[in-house]
Chains A and B, each alone.
Chain A
């Protein structure tokens, strides 16, 4: 559905997207993951033909989006991050206008607008003026606009930004509903979002594609070990000595009393261990056997920041080991982009 090769975009001297290439198959849901300023929006804008790339090719459904942007855009439903809408129009008016622009025939117009409103669950606000709608409704109007022409490819730039948890769940459900029929490329900087919706993830950082993975593996990639968090009663020395003896525990990262009860203080302990789920069991057994009372024990989830930190430091290390001054200069240049 999407074939992107050597995509590069510069704003003046700053390289915002550099040599990005990826393929998306029909029916896939792809997450485009990266911190703010990584080049996600710029890449998506190039796919939609709103921006032209400096170099590289984009094929949308086999059509060259750089040479024939209009034909390529016919296959794309796009929802920009800011969800720009005409605030003075009513919801239905706006959707009808956009459907006409997207060359929906008069016969189909009513049906298409109706089903887009139903899918995005905005039929109850169809006669409301867009400017008076809440943020959640507005982004659903944007979503309805993107799907109104029933495009084979849907590009959503941060579709859940600024929504409350309920609305986020609705948007995710909508995306899942359309899965299979429609190819979806969505960008986000939130890791759980990718995990709950996407089949595959592209990670972009400082304009470069730094990783491509399925979401489950992503967390593991970000960590060479795992963090266990314990809360329990007992004194500090005892906790440390017991935990150190457990096989697989590397070090006690942090230990601090939660309550100042001199006889049996409540402690919070963080330990770094080898990346194996079984270690939790061993830790529990050891702590219980030592007579320490355990209140809570869980593995801490790796955050997106950790994944990025891991992926990007890896990359930097590689660059440094190559020892090329040129590459360092490029890296610095991209640093400014952020």
Chain B
């Protein structure tokens, strides 16, 4: 145990005493996520604001004053110009270029048609390839549908409607809010845990082989298993630092990201116990990931080879994260919780949606510990293999 601690401290010191490594492996992920998500949120917000505040340039023909008045009551910002059919082609070109947002042509007899119960046709020209034009179309089309409903109601009273629809919302607001996190976070967390471990794992083992420093360690009277445990534990702690930094970055920036598009995510819906569960799952997951990366790094001859061999596992873990992204709900099948990493993804969702099953939690933690024990056993065997350790 003393040797495990000595190796743990040395591996830990190696990273923590290297300012560049601390910055790139631990601080940068969180900082980059915060800046990136906040920037994206702000960009989405600016875009949304830009579109909604845009003055719609609309050419009209025969537009009834009543409709113009109706549109004025809507929260839109239109400017109407008279249409001249002799300039039709030029106007189409302007719509194509995005200089004009829309052309609406009413029939000359539109108002009479409405009064005489004749179905009248409104022709709209717009360009869905231009954001202002598309937004103008959606807003004006909605307004015209509303106006049609007003006319229908005038004509037929309540009998205009075949039925009305009322709904009573029954939901756990916290759980619903948690689902927002549950859809976004598991994939990101697994991704950051993996990339955190990837940034230091190959260097610690494959790097030592490549630089020839592993042999210096192997000729000390320390059991190979102690070397394996010491390295895995220190890499796990550092990876946890990296993942925590990423996690804080995500939690702080998600409200910024979603507020841009009008959404709200409150990070304070979770209590201490939720964070403890989450921390336990993250630690178990990081142990499995570090164990896997350590085994691959011990097998590889160089850092480059180790990184190449780790990549497929990185993609698989990302795919596992993505696979649950759209449901936002944890699986109820217990066997899922015996599967490495996938169990963590589901458990993270369960925690975030306040739907945690203690049995599933215990299975996730226990099986992760079994997996990391297996990885340490394999690592120990690899350290004992002269062919693996000293192959050229």
A joins B in a complex: no
